[in-house]
Amino acid sequence: MRRGPFVAGEKVQFTDRKSNKITDQLVAGGSTQTAHGLILHDDVIGRSEGVVVTSVTAKREAQVNAEHPERDANKPWKGTRAIGGWQYAVMRPRLADYVLSMPRGAQIMYPKDTAQVIELGDIRRGHRVLESGAGSGAMSLHLLEACGAEGELTTIELRPEFARVARANVDLYYGEHPDNWTLLTGDFDSVAATLPAGWFDRVMLDMLDPWNRLEQAERVIAPGGVLTCYVTTTTQMGRLAEALRQSGRWSEPQIQETLERNWKAQGLAVRPDHQMIGHTGFLVVSRAMADGFEALRRRERAAKDTTTDIDSLTPEQREAAFEELELRDISDRKLRKVLRDLDAQLRVIGETGDAEQREGREQRE
């Protein structure tokens, strides 16, 4: 946790009056290029959060593409970006700001989803957490914050280059490598097989096929531990849910997605923004059963077939299935009531139509 004046080497966030944000690392004698001139880092270093700095005029050549100047030959407006005099508020970035601005090789999980992972996955201070899929380190940062110095995080990343990106982003955020974070490289099954059984309180899987990783996840998680999986498509979500049920080792999965919409509130103009963050992924949450005990399942109704494909049935079986559905959907008593209501409504329409016709004839006569 950083407090006090800004120092060289730490990340800061510059925000202008239009709420445009720029996150950069302070360097003694350095500067940040903006759409309105340069922000000199020496004007920031040694000062506290919440100050306002003013950009200075830059050399116009700095606004032109140095490698391909011909691309900017017909863009005279780019020269105006050299003009300074634009004000920026200076703050330390929140974790959500840092995650959205940090260099990344893989798509990060949105803050709305990471918050739900922490809440629904019940990841708290002191927990031992296993994460699969480091990506760019966004989820690792949130998990480290949630489990705290008393807990520990073990991350397994398949691709070494992604592991390097994640390590660098996390180390930059903390200013050093966290002592309670172990980053391992390799496929999940092989690496997890080397970890102690029943050691982890929580397991977080962010990968393409989490249903194929349930065996090792079950081995390393403690009884009652929470498994949280992040998948992006309905086919992944459905396949994972069925795998969890069929194993008998996991409680009934809880599935949800989160939609995010910001609002504008200026005087009488109080309305939602025109853009929102819709579907990004599904969270599937389940809990591990103790050895020797099978998860409890809801008993399905005998007439409710949720697995058979209707196209695989013979014509006779399909007709029987349709009859079952019709009988289950509406009873004879309810059908008679529906028909009575519809007949009454039709009579009203008919009476109204007859009255209008009579009125029309009278006007013509």
Return binding residues.
Answer: 157, 206
CB 219, CB 268: distance < 8 Å: no
d(CA 147, CA 353): 72
**Residue 181 · residue 144 · CB < 8 Å:** yes
CA angle 191, 196, 198 (to 5 degrees): 115
Q: Identify which of 203, 200, 196, 233 has the alpha carbon closest to the alpha carbon of residue 132.
A: 203
Instruction: Specify the DSSP element, H or E, that contains 316.
Output: helix 315-329
Sign, Cα dihedral of 208, 212, 216, 218: positive
Dist CA 298 CA 300 (whole Å): 6
Annotated binding site for S-adenosyl-L-methionine, which residues?
Answer: 157, 206
CA distance 17 to 4: 24
| Selection from 161, 232, 154 nearest residue 188 by Cα | 154
Strands laid side by side in the 282-287 sheet: 181-185, 152-157, 128-132, 200-206, 221-231, 282-287, 254-256
Pick the closest to residue 279 from 319, 240, 231, 336 (CA basis).
Answer: 231
- Specify whether the backbone of 37 is left (phi greater than 0), alpha (psi in -120 to 50) or beta: left
